[in-house]
Amino acid sequence: MIGVVGGGIAGLAAARRLQQLGHDVTVFEANEDLGGLATTYETAGDPVEAFYHHLSKSEETIVEWIDELGLDDALEWRYGSDAYYVDGVVHPMDKPWEILAYPHLSIYDKFRLGMLVLDVDVRGGIPSFDTYERLEDFEDVPVKGFVLDHTSRGCFERFFKPLLEAKFGDRWADVSAAWLLGRIKFRGERDLLKGEQLGYLAGGFGQLTDALVETVGKMDIFTESRATDIRIKDGVVDSVTVETEYGEVPHAVDGVVVATMPDVLESLTGYACDIDFQGTVCSVISMEKPLTDTYWLNIADDAPFGALIEHTNYVPPERYGGEHLLYAVKYVQGPEDDLWQMDDQAVEETWLSGIEDLFPDFDRDSVNWIQTSRNPKTAPIYERGYLEKVIPYDLSEEVADGVYYAGMASRAQYPERSLDGAIVAGETVAERIGEAQ
């Protein structure tokens, strides 16, 4: 039997592929619920993700899996609108004329930004089309120096820096240029007139978890079963110990896939990973009316949140019984962060007064409910030299034969952690196990 530690999308994907390859599998999930970060809340209509989720057109594996799992009818590609909030004004940034009208970048800044996004290096006045092909060349290049060199100071100060700060907080300067370039490539096709298409599962991504659970089979999935130890015998994995309400139970295994954050891998096997993770505090605010007409609002202003993501400007509110759903989100760099220290009520008060400061017409009486989720490890800091720190899928050399890793510190979750990356990690590990036997 192969033991899978973690019943998030990566663990469930590994379990499904392993079964397809003929293995007996048991999934051990610490929580009562499956799906990990892809968990959902109830609304007056469809469930909504506790942490905002959409797909990018560049992600192909998840689309194949959605198809195989019979969810293809639910997959829809919708245009998600982007805007920047600066000095009291929401500036739409999707269409060429909106970008041209954006007053906080000069024409020269926009030209340099456009060339970088189109993968054209115009430094020295002679266009080069292959500078950005090999991301490895930029692994050790600091993001700030790169942006200043390859675009302009205006682009850096007024476009990239607010985005980097929203994504990485005070760790933004550690990020590599390779990550930025990878992130630009990761984003999907843009329609010149309509913006970027993003993928969503009508009815919510909870259906992906449900479909995976169904195919793996509930009999082979144990919830409220936290793995506490992995035993090695003669250099080969021998058992996984799981803590349940009945005490600690060892399960004999022929192999183990750890599909969790790296700190869990370390506590189970001693393998230490140098990647730093940040956490997230994220609330869904249900309102009777819309706040803006933008899906993704970047905030280049003083605010307690890094972005406001108005889900129902992407998926229609009718799906949620007419509720308008807004995410307020901030990434936190550690438990000492003020926001992390607050209880949910204080966090929610912070969001509401932050929204009132930016949008004086916002009426907090129009709020139906707020739900807050927080998780101390939700996203890696993609700092310079990141790829050298990635945990190998097969840990036979580092830990013992039969130990595999499919969690967020795996290669598949670069340059952006995603549901697609989780599936690719789970699938890759299952295939490595298949090849090894």
Ligand X SMILES: Cc1cc2nc3c(=O)[nH]c(=O)nc-3n(C[C@H](O)[C@H](O)[C@H](O)COP(=O)(O)OP(=O)(O)OC[C@H]3O[C@@H](n4cnc5c(N)ncnc54)[C@H](O)[C@@H]3O)c2cc1C
Q: Among residues 259 and 287, whose Cβ is nearest to ligand X?
A: 259
Tell me the closest approach of the beta carbon of residue 38 to ligand X, in angstroms: 5
Tokens 């990020």 map to which residue?
A: 175
Residue 137: phi and psi, rounded to 5, are: -65, -15
Helix (H/G/I), strand (E/B), else coil: 23: coil
Q: Among residues 113 and 211, whose Cβ is nearest to ligand X?
A: 211
Tell me the closest approach of the beta carbon of residue 222 to ligand X, in angstroms: 9
Q: Among residues 175 and 281, whose Cβ is nearest to ligand X?
A: 281
Q: Applying CB under 6 A, does 29 fall inside the site for ligand X? A: yes
Binder among 1, 19, 23, 31 for ligand X (CB under 6 A):
31
Q: Applying CB under 6 A, does 407 fall inside the site for ligand X? A: yes
Q: Applying CB under 6 A, does 278 fall inside the site for ligand X? A: no
Span 152-211, contacts to ligand X by CB under 6 A = none
Q: Among residues 52 and 102, whose Cβ is nearest to ligand X?
A: 52
Q: Applying CB under 6 A, does 71 fall inside the site for ligand X? A: no
Binder among 278, 350, 418, 428 for ligand X (CB under 6 A):
418
User: How many residues contact ligand X, by CB under 6 A?
Assistant: 35
Tell me the closest approach of the beta carbon of residue 13 to ligand X, in angstroms: 8
Q: Applying CB under 6 A, does 51 fall inside the site for ligand X? A: yes
Binder among 2, 3, 6, 171 for ligand X (CB under 6 A):
6
Tell me the closest approach of the beta carbon of residue 99 to ligand X, in angstroms: 23
Q: Applying CB under 6 A, does 92 fall inside the site for ligand X? A: no
Q: Applying CB under 6 A, does 36 fall inside the site for ligand X? A: yes
Q: Applying CB under 6 A, does 332 fall inside the site for ligand X? A: no
Q: Applying CB under 6 A, does 37 fall inside the site for ligand X? A: yes
Span 227-256, contacts to ligand X by CB under 6 A = 227
Q: Applying CB under 6 A, does 10 fall inside the site for ligand X? A: yes
Q: Applying CB under 6 A, does 259 fall inside the site for ligand X? A: yes
Q: Among residues 162 and 421, whose Cβ is nearest to ligand X?
A: 421
Contact indicator for 199, 77 with CB cutoff of 8 Å: yes
Q: Among residues 34 and 105, whose Cβ is nearest to ligand X?
A: 34
Q: Among residues 43 and 373, whose Cβ is nearest to ligand X?
A: 373
Contact indicator for 411, 88 with CB cutoff of 8 Å: no
The first and second tokens of residue 119, run together, are 């993968």
Tell me the closest approach of the beta carbon of residue 173 to ligand X, in angstroms: 22
State the residues that interact with ligand X by CB under 6 A: 5-11, 28-31, 36-38, 51-55, 226-227, 259-260, 264, 280, 282, 378, 407-408, 417-422
